Amino acid sequence: MNTDPLLKINRVTKSYKTRGKVFDALDEISLDIKEGEFISLIGPSGCGKSTLLNMVAGLEDCSTGQIVLDGMKIEGPGVDRGMVFQSHALYPWLTVFDNIMFALDCVMKDASKSEKEALANRYLDVVKLTAAKDKKPGEISGGMKQRVGIARAFAINPKVLLLDEPFGALDALTRGELQDELERIWEEDRRTVIMVTHDVDEAILLSDRIVVMGHGPKAKVLDCIEVDIPRPRQKAELMDDPRFTALRKKLVGMLSDESIA
Amino acid sequence: MSVSTSKTMAGGVGLPDKTASANRRSMSVNTKAFLLFLLILISGGAIWELVVSLRLLSPLIPAPSLILSQGFELIRDPFYSNGVNDAGIGIHLLASVQRVLTGFLLAAAAAVPLGFMIGMSAVLSKAIDPFIQVMRPVSPLAWLPIGLALFQSSESTAIFVIFISSIWPILINAIFGVRSIPRTYLNVARTLEANRWMIVRKVYLPATLPQIVTGLRISLGVAWLVIIAAEMLIGGRGIGYFVWNEWNNLDIANIIVCIVLIGLVGIVLDRLLSLVEKRVKYEH
Ligand SMILES: Nc1ncnc2c1ncn2[C@@H]1O[C@H](COP(=O)(O)OP(=O)(O)OP(=O)(O)O)[C@@H](O)[C@H]1O
Ligand SMILES: [Mg+2]
């Protein structure tokens, strides 16, 4: 198996210029991500997690440094990266099904219509939304919308999935449900995932590695923590696992130190 | 760009549908309102009739009974035509509607793509804005002489004036619609490497359609206001010309009939676009 990292974030910084002032958000972030790895980015609010994810997505430029995906420097957005947005970002004028079809139409230009429809149906089935496929986003719940967003990102079969607080806007119950569901979907084909989250439990449940970022400005990576809890993991069982409790304690400690500092 | 005020303009005055206290008695709000409407109409007409018969008003002002009988006369054979200067009111109304629709459709065909182009570029939006800001508050009738100078034909001038009155609301709404598309909608398309054409057709267009149709609705309302005045000045054919002609005949009864008919046609035009508006609306 190829041991080179699939994604190489190499001494990336980000500075914003607002009204003449320069704001250094990120300071020389370096990170190697292997194929099939599930990475969580966690850190205090405003430290630059979304910024880093958007740079990997190609939606923002790096001020210095570079990000290399599969040997190619990232210069802009591309279909080799699938994004799940925090605010679901579905098109409200399209049905659930057509939202996924829009993505497939963009990405699979040579495929036949029936091929694409079969794919869309398959991923709707994976996220258990077949019954709601003809509804508009305005007619389904927040959790369902987020599941459509996940199905859309998975359906285009990207090399890396980017998730920006995918469950941030949901209530605790729905969030727990979707976390278990994401764990199940991920187990099926082990994609490479980078997920931004605020939720320590979520990070431990889903990740192979948790990247802890310090507060900004000039935010740095404080630590990369391996999660050596065997999979498949279930949220309910995890709570009693001593490794989980220890990890949780460590992470919460680091994060509260950061927000005080 | 005050889009919200224009929206209420297009929406007209709406009464709240139901209030809890209004349901105390058995009659529904609608029935009550309708009865009150009839009461106001009939008592207003009766007072007017009385005031006229007591000769309290200018002798030019006709009594409602006369207006009614002349009104029936006018609409009995609306489409008769005895040459250029003697035609039924239906023919005049149709001529006006035709001018309005022609000018309006030309304006829509120009302003929607233009608004898209301008709206998609921040620089262009800023550069064009001063022109729009200056032109918008100008009465379209000020353009009438320019139309005459340009076309030297009254028909083309009328359409030109309608074109000018329609173009600003459509343009402003199209630009504003494009500028206010949420960034994430565009980011989704960018991450999917959608090409420019796909983005315009599948994202910009459906996203801005409700706003554009609102612009169209405002425009059509303005155009229908403006055509009457324009036709008074230009003459020939059309309901505005007809009204002016009746003033020259000192026939106020016919003018009042026209006013009501103009209002009714205006309602029909507005309702047509409000149907379209409902169809293209989406929930966030
Ligand atoms: N377009 C921008 N212009 C100027 N500053 C920006 C811009 N975008 C982000 N920032 C700044 O960069 C920093 C990092 O923002 P970012 O949104 O990446 O934080 P975050 O870690 O995702 O926060 P949260 O957890 O609250 O989502 C913040 O201080 C923010 O104010
Ligand atoms: Mg964020």
pLDDT (mean) for B185-205 = 93
B207/A91 Cβ within 8 A: yes
Q: Please give the residue range of the domain that contains residue B78.
A: 74-280
pLDDT (mean) for B42-66 = 93
Mean pLDDT over all residues of chain A? 91
Do both B216 and B99 map to the same domain? yes
pLDDT at B54: 93
pLDDT (mean) for B243-251 = 93
What CATH number should be reported for the domain holding residue B198? 1.10.3720.10
- Closest-CA residue of chain B to A59: B187
In a domain, B52, yes or no: yes
Last-in-domain residue among B57, B83, B99: B57
Do both B130 and B194 map to the same domain? yes
In a domain, B40, yes or no: yes
Distance from C-alpha of B10 to C-alpha of A70, rounded to nearest angstrom: 55
Ligand 1, atom 16, residue with closest C-alpha: A48
Distance from C-alpha of A107 to C-alpha of B234, rounded to nearest angstrom: 57
Do both B19 and B150 map to the same domain? no
Residues B45, B48, B53, B54: is their CA dihedral positive or negative?
positive
- Closest-CA residue of chain B to A137: B284
How many domains, chain B?
Answer: 2
In a domain, B63, yes or no: no
Do both B80 and B50 map to the same domain? no
Whole-prediction pTM value? 0.82
Closest alpha carbon to A178 in A142, A207, A216: A142
- Closest-CA residue of chain A to B206: A93
Does the pLDDT at position B14 exceed 70?
no
Ligand 1, atom 5, residue with closest C-alpha: A16
Inform me whether the C-beta atom of residue A92 falls under 8 Å from chain B C-beta atoms: yes
pLDDT digits (tens, 9 = 90+) for A157-208: 999 999 999 988 788 888 888 888 888 888 888 899 999 998 999 999 999 9
Between B137 and A216, residue with greater pLDDT: B137
In a domain, B64, yes or no: no
Do both B83 and B205 map to the same domain? yes
pLDDT (mean) for B220-245 = 93
Q: Which residues of chain A have pLDDT under 70?
A: 1-3, 260-261
Do both B150 and B34 map to the same domain? no
Do both B47 and B110 map to the same domain? no
Residues A137, A141, A142, A147: is their CA dihedral positive or negative?
negative
In a domain, B209, yes or no: yes
Do both B53 and B148 map to the same domain? no
Do both B41 and B82 map to the same domain? no
Q: How far is B276 from chain A (nearest CA, A)?
A: 15
Do both B153 and B237 map to the same domain? yes
Q: Which residues of B touch A82 (CB under 8 A)?
A: 191
In a domain, B5, yes or no: yes
Ligand 1 atom closest to residue A196's alpha carbon, by position in its atom list: 22
Does the pLDDT at position B19 exceed 70?
no
What residues pack around ion ligand 2 (CB closer than 5 A)?
A 50
In a domain, B179, yes or no: yes
In a domain, B68, yes or no: no
Distance from C-alpha of A125 to C-alpha of A171, rounded to nearest angstrom: 23
Distance from C-alpha of B55 to C-alpha of B65, rounded to nearest angstrom: 15
Do both B108 and B20 map to the same domain? no
Span from the CA of A59 to the centroid of ligand 1 (angstroms): 14
Do both B238 and B110 map to the same domain? yes
